[in-house]
Amino acid sequence: MVEKACAIAGIFVLSKLLEHGHDVRVLNLGKSAVPLHCMPVSAGYEQRMNEVYSWDGMQRGTAPFAVIQHTLVGEGRLDFAGVQHRLVPGQTMVLSMPHAHRYWLERGGRWEYFWLVLNGRETLRLVREVIDAAGPVVSLAQPVVERLAGACLSLLDQSEPTPGEASAAAYSAMAALHDGVFAASAVPQAPVQPAIARVMAHVEDHLSEPLQVERLADIAEMSRGHFVRQFSAAVGQAPSEWVLERRLERIERLLLATDMSVGAIAGATGFADGNYLAKAFRRRRGMAPLEYRAAQRLASGT
């Protein structure tokens, strides 16, 4: 069985994981005084045959986490928000919980795979980006699969990993997934013209102040219409949209890194008051600011 899977994989680190044998490990690391934001919960290498095996993404609790599961032999099935997927050898499933999906083994089937369960806000951010860009099932190059297998094997092999060692394995898995999905499509960005760069720097340094398009056009020493066209072409967003995203990103950082009130954060990020900030944040992020703070801190163990 192991020899057959090794022949399919044909790579060194993955073969070591297969030689390790079927194994599941739940990590009980405790709560750290200084949380890390990409942490493993469990890892394993398993085979399912002729049995009931089904996971519902809405029935696994309310605390957010992510699953990375790579198929080695056999086949699984995934229903992701109503879209059907076959999980065949060489494919990697990437999911976040809670979410409307289900994955399962067909009656009489066989499914052999390795997996990692991870949590933390950096894990969830990257998983969300992967799913948005490539969907919940990706085909990764063998060197990337090897890196994922190495992270899994590291967690299975270490007798008593420290939080830092465990987080390093989790980050290694997420970095591999990032490279497998995004590295091939990365293209060097052309430098923006000095006038646009000057505006971008001004926005970053003055997010708490009014940043009307007319003011930004003056900084760029362009007419309003010409500035909007030049900025949109260089950045890929209209100036007002780009400013709003910079403000929302700073709001996220302040919600997570401080205990500032929503009203105080509004004053620090250019919103008239906390109510206006909350409406804009909910419209773009799908939840109220304090809900976001609570959810992300729960995910990261703070």
286 pLDDT band (50/70/90 cuts)? confident
Q: Do domains 2-185 and 194-300 have the same CATH topology?
A: no
- Quick check: 4 pLDDT over 60? no
Q: What is the pLDDT of residues 164-203, one digit of tens each?
A: 999 999 999 999 999 999 986 555 556 789 999 999 999 9
| Per-residue pLDDT, 9 | 41
1 pLDDT band (50/70/90 cuts)? very low
Q: What is the rounded distance in angstroms from the CA atom of residue 161 to the CA atom of residue 167? A: 9
Q: What is the pLDDT of residues 95-104, one digit of tens each?
A: 999 899 999 9
Q: What is the pLDDT of residues 259-275, one digit of tens each?
A: 999 999 999 999 999 99
Q: List the domain boundaries for the chain.
A: 2-185, 194-300
| Per-residue pLDDT, 301 | 55
13 pLDDT band (50/70/90 cuts)? confident
Q: Which CATH superfamily is domain 194-300 in?
A: Homeodomain-like (1.10.10.60)
281 pLDDT band (50/70/90 cuts)? very high
Give helix 194-205 / helix 239-257 axis angle, nearest 10°.
40
Mean pLDDT, rounded, for 122-136: 91
| Per-residue pLDDT, 2 | 41
Mean pLDDT, rounded, for 154-160: 91
Q: What amino acid occupies position 17?
A: L
Residues 6+ apart with CB under 8 A from 223: 217
User: May I ask the CATH class of domain 2-185?
Assistant: mainly beta
Strand duo 91-97 + 101-104: pairing: unpaired
Q: What is the rounded distance in angstroms from the CA atom of residue 283 to the CA atom of residue 245? A: 12
Q: Are the CB atoms for 59 and 97 separated by under 8 Å?
A: no
Please report which helix (H) or strand (E) contains residue 94, including its range: strand 91-97
- Quick check: 33 pLDDT over 80? no
| Per-residue pLDDT, 66 | 95
Q: Are the CB atoms for 104 and 75 separated by under 8 Å?
A: no
Centre a 10 Å sphere on the Cβ of residue 104 and count the other Cβ atoms it contains. Answer: 18
- Which candidate, 177, 172, 145, 152, places its Cα nearest to that of 44? 152
Q: In the chain, what percentage of residues exceed pLDDT 70? A: 93
| Per-residue pLDDT, 164 | 92
61: helix, strand or coil: coil
